[in-house]
Amino acid sequence: MKILQFTDIHLTRQGDTIGGRDPNANFAKALAHALDLHGDAEALFITGDLSDWGDEDDYARLKSIIADIPMPVHLMIGNHDDRQLFTSVFPELGNEDGFVQYAVQMSLGTALCLDTWGPDTHAGHFCEDRARWLTTQLEQIDGPVWLFMHHNPVPIHVAPMDKIMLLDAERFGATIAPFAQKIRHIFHGHCHMPLSGSLHGIPFSAPRGTNHAGWPDFSATRLLASAELPESYAVIFATPNSVMTHMVEFGYAGEIKGEGTPDYADWDRMTMVR
């Protein structure tokens, strides 16, 4: 199974920029790059912060764009989004409890797309109703299960970022722990940094994002840090026995150099590029 993950696309009004970067142009660039090189992926998941200010026009434009993508696109909302406006444009993604949570059948198992949005805050939430929905899904699905969400469920040890992580992390952890053997991977966004780790033995990962980049300033106490790093998305390969995630820095504009073949017999001090 091959899938794509975009995160933190932060669509804005046409002409607006974030950190000097045009998120609309970068989203288009990411799509073109991904479809050119990974058009064989079976789905694209976008893990939140679809709009920078939760504007309805951004959601309408996103709906128009993804209508032309030749693979299924699965959307989640993040702290910059507005659930009510999002579901007014994508009513099919709201469930009976009012959350943007749903299951997607994949060629290898089932993907569960989670809603960690909360009003008037950048922090993530996972209330009892959302936990009940996830528990029901995990009880009914044989597995493997792939979880997709916006907020990081584990502290990254950068103080300003940890103030806006998933605040109900203990509830989330307690919900998934009994199903750890069934859940193969957790994919999230939010931090604008490449991250990996585990929760109750379940691995998780996040790419940087398709527009602006964060920086792990471990000495920070109040302000989030950014850096002029390339925009990126993730390519995920999964088999019944393994998972591999790549962060593809499509925004890199430098040279891609050939270093020689991987064959040991060709390794030579005179010919190898060093």
Which one, of 77, 173, 74, 90, lies nearest residue 117 by Cα? 77
Distances, alpha carbon 179 to alpha carbons 114, 175, 185, 236, in Å: 16, 8, 12, 22
- pTM > 0.75: yes or no: yes
pLDDT single digits (tens) 55-99: 999 999 999 999 999 999 999 999 999 999 999 999 999 998 999
Sketch the domain layout of the chain as residue ranges.
2-253
Question: Residue 183: its pLDDT value, please?
Answer: 98
Q: Which two tokens stand for residue 165?
A: 């992580």
Question: Coil, strand or helix: which one is 27?
Answer: helix
The average pLDDT across 221-231 equals 97
Q: Which two tokens stand for residue 146?
A: 């792939």
CATH topology for 2-253 is Purple Acid Phosphatase; chain A, domain 2 (3.60.21)
For β-strands 183-187 and 145-148, DSSP reports them as parallel
Q: Is the dihedral of CA 168, 170, 171, 175 positive or negative?
A: positive
Reply yes or no on whether the pLDDT at 263 is more than 80.
Answer: yes
pLDDT single digits (tens) 149-170: 999 999 999 999 999 999 999 9
Question: Residue 50: its pLDDT value, please?
Answer: 98
What is the distance between the alpha carbons of residues 145 and 194, in angstroms, rounded to a whole number? 22
Q: Which two tokens stand for residue 6?
A: 């975009």
Task: Give the type of residue at 55.
Answer: D
Chain-centre distance of CA 42, in angstroms? 16
DSSP conformation class of 172: H
What is the distance between the alpha carbons of residues 169 and 161, in angstroms, rounded to a whole number? 14
pLDDT single digits (tens) 237-261: 999 999 999 999 999 999 998 877 8
pLDDT band at 23 (very low <50, low <70, confident <90, very high): very high
